[in-house]
Structure 1
Amino acid sequence: MIKLNNKLIALGASVIASTLLVTNAFAAAPSKVDSAAAGVYNPTKNALDGGVTYKRSNGSYTAYRINEQSTKGVNFGRTPTPNELKAWDADIMPDGTGLPKGSGTVDDGEALYDKDCAVCHGEFGAGGKGYPTLTGGTIDSLKNQRTCPGKDAPNRTIGSYWPQASTLIWYIRDAMPYAHPKSYSPDQMYAMTAYLLKESGVTIDGKEIEELNQDNFKKIVMPNRNGFYPNIDGPKGVENVRAFFKNPKNFGAVGTRCMTNCGKESVAKIGNEITDVVPAYSTVRDLPKVDPSKGGAVSEAQKLYEKSCAVCHKTDAMGAPAVGDKGVWADLVVKGIDKINHNAINGLGGMPPKGGAMDLSDAQVKDIVKFMVESSK
């Protein structure tokens, strides 16, 4: 015991001595930095947004020390093979590069949308279920600024905001549908894109879109195609951005650039509030009453399921038991309804408590579970 205590005392003394040495070393460091700081903070006005950058010098980047050790001999990996490059080079560009071969109709896209997308994005892409609104909106609304309550926000939708249709079909291919991304065939990709573009009022050569393929897709001109500036395309893109931001008037300022004590006269606000709409805007957030005779939800539990649970439980693609799969749910029911309710309320595996819908009460979750079980018999 005495030997152990001696070791602890010696160790404690060495730690204290080391701490003092390190503390003294850092305490002495500022004088060295200060003596060399003349060139550390000198900014260079060459930032892309018209601001400044700082050079790395004297072992520092502004007030922060940098590691100046040599990186010679560091292995950054190997050169990718042609096949790897081909697999990664999957961009779909505005000029049509990367478009798959295929075709899809608006009618097929509508059926696909109702099956896979309406649960999140609302009927016809009109939103209202917590996910982005895809259709509607006006280009004029993009000038709106929410400077006070009651003013309309910009409506950034496919038709009013997106400059290129290529990003739409590209995103659909790689990220949709939510529960099973990358599952659409080229024909389905074209069909979904055709439907969303038609619902957004986009035309081809002045005619409504009925079908899309790799040929007529290249003729699409989005309504807001020329609404973005500065021009970032081409070899002069970077310089165009740099020149744009160097002039404060381009982004609303009427005076010089400022970070502190900026007066009201330094910023010009754009006023373009839209009020003459029919019907008038409403702040009521109540969901419309559902008529069961028209195929709507027939119970409160089903409505809650569609709102909060169907995204994952509609199919088994997310690893969750799909509603309607009798075999899977029969195995779960054997364990007892109390066990299912407990897992639904407290979470299990990749599912968070209550599926992430923490505004649901325990009683509501149990009602949803009962609906899911009854729907899977």
Structure 2
Amino acid sequence: MFTLENIKLNKIVVSSTVIATALLISACSTTTRSVDGAVKYEVKDGKYTSYHVNTQKVVGKYNYGRTPTKTEIAAWDKDVMPDGTGLPEYDVKQGKIVLDDEGKPKKAEGSVEWGAELYDEQCAMCHGEFGTGGKGYPPLSASTASTASLKNQLLNPADENPGVEPPVKVIGTYWPYASTLFWYIQDSMPFPHPKSLSNSETYALVAYLLMENGVKIDGVALEDDFVLDKEKFLKIKMPNADGFYPNVDTPENPKKGVENIKAFLSNPKNYGTGTRCMNDCIKGDVPVLRIKNELNDFNPPASTERSWKEVGAKEVSQEQKNYETYCAACHANDAIGAPVVGNKDAWEEVVAQGMDAVYANGLNGINAMPPKGGSDLSDEDFKKVVDFMINSSK
């Protein structure tokens, strides 16, 4: 730790020449240079040049924690490799295998139907219904897309026929391995409370997302009753499994592209050579490429129609729908720190500030909460959601 010595101005004026001379002599005789070329001076009389240095010795040793136990390592070791290494066969809790009612290891497995239920509860609020994308979060599926869209390029507006359709990069068109889907979900999702899903729940979610992406397993299309487990998982072949190998006239074996790509790129005729240009590079009229699709929208828009109703189901208000869409991720989870809907004491403390302050905090954002909870609701609609949460917590 350094402390700059307090030297009075008159002493600096009087002794500036002496100090400069002393430093010059010191730099020439006792200095060295660090790896980046900077001058290094010796610590002398408890000072480094004009700075005081703490010369006290450290007593004892630094404590970097302890070695984790095997159980602790197993609880965090969730990586799953493309060859199936790390793929769980049984349900595990806190690093230990879960036993069924008969005392046998409980097999990890999940159906497409169960995965759909889990997705609606845990994922749809961010990634949209059926994985078609939410506000600010990426889409996970696109029913009409294929790997062919990956060849789409948004070309220069000056081109004669510029491209306007971007590549569609979702699970079924872009991801080369399903193993990434499994461990990423289990390790990082759901966003408000990661690492909360069991192995069986993760299998179910993977099965559902593969179904929404039209991925077949062993040539079989996935239906609601399809159950995914370790054995079936190892048979998954993603449509873009070979898409990350350069295809350089080697369609019969894409991996050869890695070997001959250097030879291909060594010949400029294969990809053209550029000409330097600093101004007036485009001759004639410059065509204007209009943005047809906004980046924050899904085209065509995902249908939100719900024409069917459960028998005897209660009518859900628009305020509740907006709460479940925009607010439940934080206000339905104790781990986030936001007042949970239904917690009377927590909301009484919030309301005690006065409703004007409550509305203002919600509209403008407070602490980790963004303005309006990150929604695009109008001020009046957002206030109705606040009223719903308060009334539901009385």
In structure 2, do the counterparts of structure 1 residues 105 and 68 end up closer, same or farther at CA, with 3 Å as the change threshold? farther
Partner of 1:229: 245
Unmatched tracts of structure 2, length 5 or more: 1-5, 25-32, 42-61, 91-107, 248-255, 279-296
Residue type at the aligned position of 2:198: S
- The alignment's TM-score, normalised by the length of structure 1, stands at 0.64
Q: 2:113 aligned with 1:98, yes or no?
A: no
Q: Contact (CA 8 Å) 1:315, 1:322: kept in 2 or not?
A: yes
Alignment equivalent of 1:248, drawn from 265, 268, 276: 265
Q: 188-197 or 201-210, which moves further after superposition? A: 201-210
Q: Contact (CA 8 Å) 2:132, 2:302: kept in 1 or not?
A: no
Name the SS of the counterpart of 1:207 in structure 2: coil
Q: 216-225 or 360-369, which moves further after superposition? A: 360-369
Alignment equivalent of 2:116, drawn from 80, 105, 110: 110
Q: Contact (CA 8 Å) 1:244, 1:250: kept in 2 or not?
A: no
Query: Distance in 1 between the 2:128 and 2:359 partners?
Result: 29
Alignment equivalent of 2:385, drawn from 368, 374, 377: 368
Q: Contact (CA 8 Å) 2:125, 2:326: kept in 1 or not?
A: no
Q: 2:220 aligned with 1:207, yes or no?
A: yes
Q: Contact (CA 8 Å) 2:132, 2:298: kept in 1 or not?
A: no
Partner of 2:45: none
Residue type at the aligned position of 1:120: C
Residue type at the aligned position of 1:220: I
In structure 2, do the counterparts of structure 1 residues 10 and 197 end up closer, same or farther at CA, with 3 Å as the change threshold? same
Residue type at the aligned position of 2:181: L
Partner of 1:269: none
Query: Distance in 2 between the 1:103 and 1:89 partners?
Result: 19
Q: CA deviation at 1:229?
A: 1.2
Unmatched tracts of structure 1, length 5 or more: 24-57, 70-74, 232-238, 264-281
Alignment of 1:133-152 (within 5 A): 133-136=139-142, 137-147=145-155, 148=157, 151-152=164-165
Q: CA deviation at 1:82?
A: 7.4
Alignment of 1:179-218 (within 5 A): 179-209=192-222, 210-218=226-234
Alpha-carbon displacement from aligned partner over 1:15-47 (angstroms, at most 9, x marks no partner): 798799999xxxxxxxxxxxxxxxxxxxxxxxx
Greater radius of gyration (CA): 2
Which has a greater percent of helix? Answer: 1
- The alignment's TM-score, normalised by the length of structure 2, stands at 0.62
Provide the alpha-carbon RMSD of the alignment.
4.7
Q: Contact (CA 8 Å) 1:129, 1:307: kept in 2 or not?
A: no
Q: CA deviation at 1:94?
A: 1.1
Q: What percentage of aligned pairs have identical amino acids?
A: 46
Alignment equivalent of 1:313, drawn from 318, 331, 348: 331
Q: CA deviation at 1:226?
A: 1.1
In structure 2, do the counterparts of structure 1 residues 348 and 127 end up closer, same or farther at CA, with 3 Å as the change threshold? closer
Query: Distance in 1 between the 2:303 and 2:328 partners?
Result: 19
Partner of 1:261: 276
Q: CA deviation at 1:320?
A: 1.4
Partner of 1:10: 11
Q: 2:314 aligned with 1:298, yes or no?
A: no
Q: CA deviation at 1:294?
A: 4.9
Q: Contact (CA 8 Å) 1:125, 1:134: kept in 2 or not?
A: yes
